[in-house]
């Protein structure tokens, strides 16, 4: 996540011509990175809660200056690396032809739909003999949470199930009855048991159906809208989820089931400045997911994206 990418030195870097939503003040890339370094420095000192780093007065002043923003960039905007997935790590990518790498970049500005605009590239790693080592960068981003912090994925294979809204009424009732029975089996005095008894499908929702976090394949979370088929702009086929970019890897409700293996033994407060719940430091809309779709008929058909 967040680069660097295996990008051919001979291929032009992608730029976005917009148009962009001129809302608020952009933040310079330097400012975002400086702000993150300051946060890391503050968290390296003794603190009680990583969500409230012990900033010095000088650091607070620098943060205030960063927060003022910078001018809107003029001309085309260089795209930012968001993710790079290798087929060897994520076998269910179903790439076209001999491709074995999926690269996702995005324009770090809104285009009338409240998320950074993604573009996707499929590549064959063996064909890239000379790698671009110094890719161009935008001067600014619309929000600091549109700059993915470079970090490494540790993919796990999981099984998840559809949102209950995608199930038939009969199945929805069965899931509700099953969830209620499981709640009854839970330890009587646990808070979870009370919660699950109150909302009949919460056990299914939190721990079985939609895995939170960045993922390839799987189901859509829904919630921004009811389930609606994403159709291919080229051939009208129903598209399938390819990659989901999430604002958080898990929350308190989904943690028992979905926290990644490598994060389970972490103690709080974490000494790390990278929050294990959001290591890429990305936010999509209001804590939502950005789901990228692919056409199952042809990889040459355009990809689409929606927020859920």
| Residues of this chain that bind Zn ion (CB under 5 A) | 16, 18, 107, 109, 232, 234-235, 237, 295, 297, 301
Q: What is the 3-state secondary structure (H, E, C) of 86-124?
A: ECCCCHHHCCCCCCCEEEEEEEEEECCCCCEEEEEEEEC
DSSP string for residues in 116-135: EEEEEEEE-GGG--SB-SS-
Query: Minimum Å distance from CB 78 to Zn ion?
Result: 10
Query: Minimum Å distance from CB 9 to Zn ion?
Result: 24
Query: Minimum Å distance from CB 298 to Zn ion?
Result: 6
Query: Minimum Å distance from CB 244 to Zn ion?
Result: 20
Per-residue CA distances from 285 to 19, 33, 182 (Å): 19, 21, 34
Rounded Cα distance between 277 and 214, Å, is 11
Query: Minimum Å distance from CB 165 to Zn ion?
Result: 25
Closer residue to Zn ion, CB minimum distance, 237 or 277: 237
Closer residue to Zn ion, CB minimum distance, 83 or 295: 295
**Residues 6 or more apart whose Cβ sits within 8 Å of residue 14:** 78, 79, 105, 119
Closer residue to Zn ion, CB minimum distance, 183 or 292: 292
Say how far residue 74 (Cα) sits from the centre of its chain.
Answer: 28
Rounded Cα distance between 293 and 305, Å, is 6
Rounded Cα distance between 262 and 274, Å, is 14
At 176, give phi and psi (nearest 5°).
-60, -45
Instruction: Classify 64 as helix, strand or coil.
Output: helix
Rounded Cα distance between 233 and 294, Å, is 11
Closer residue to Zn ion, CB minimum distance, 47 or 301: 301
Query: Minimum Å distance from CB 232 to Zn ion?
Result: 3
Rounded Cα distance between 264 and 283, Å, is 23
Query: Minimum Å distance from CB 104 to Zn ion?
Result: 14
Closer residue to Zn ion, CB minimum distance, 175 or 232: 232
Closer residue to Zn ion, CB minimum distance, 108 or 279: 108
Closer residue to Zn ion, CB minimum distance, 143 or 204: 143
Report yes or no: 84 and 6 within 8 Å, Cβ to Cβ: yes
Q: 181 burial class (0-12, 13-18, 19+ CB within 10 angstroms)?
A: exposed
């Amino acid at each position: 996540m967040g680069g660097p990418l295996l990008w051919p030195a001979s291929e032009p870097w992608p730029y976005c011509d917009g148009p962009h939503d001129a809302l608020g003040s952009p933040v310079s890339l330097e400012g975002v990175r400086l702000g993150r370094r300051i946060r890391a420095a503050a968290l390296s000192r003794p603190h009680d809660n990583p969500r409230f780093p012990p900033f010095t007065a000088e650091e607070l002043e620098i943060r205030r200056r960063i927060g003022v923003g910078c001018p809107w960039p003029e001309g085309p905007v260089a795209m930012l690396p968001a993710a790079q997935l290798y087929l060897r790590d994520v076998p269910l990518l179903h790439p076209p032809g001999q491709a074995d790498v999926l690269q996702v970049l995005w324009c770090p500005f809104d285009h009338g739909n409240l998320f950074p605009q993604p573009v996707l590239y499929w590549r064959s790693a063996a064909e890239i003999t000379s790698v671009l080592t110094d890719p161009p960068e935008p001067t600014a981003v619309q929000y600091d949470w549109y700059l993915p912090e470079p970090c490494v994925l540790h993919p796990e294979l999981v099984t998840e199930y559809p949102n209950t809204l995608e199930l038939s009424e009969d199945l929805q009732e069965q899931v509700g009855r099953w969830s209620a029975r499981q709640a009854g089996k839970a330890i009587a005095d646990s808070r979870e048991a009370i919660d699950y008894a109150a909302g009949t499908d919460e056990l299914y929702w939190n721990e079985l159906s939609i895995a939170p976090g960045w993922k390839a394949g799987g189901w859509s979370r829904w919630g921004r809208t009811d389930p609606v088929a994403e159709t291919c702009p080229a051939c009208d086929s129903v598209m399938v989820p390819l990659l989901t970019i999430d604002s958080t890897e898990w929350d308190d409700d989904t943690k028992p089931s979905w926290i990644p293996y490598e994060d389970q033994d972490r103690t709080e407060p974490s000494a790390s400045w990278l929050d294990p719940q959001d290591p890429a430091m990305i936010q999509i809309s209001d804590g939502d997911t950005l789901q990228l779709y692919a056409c199952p008929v042809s990889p040459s058909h355009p990809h689409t994206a929606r927020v859920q």
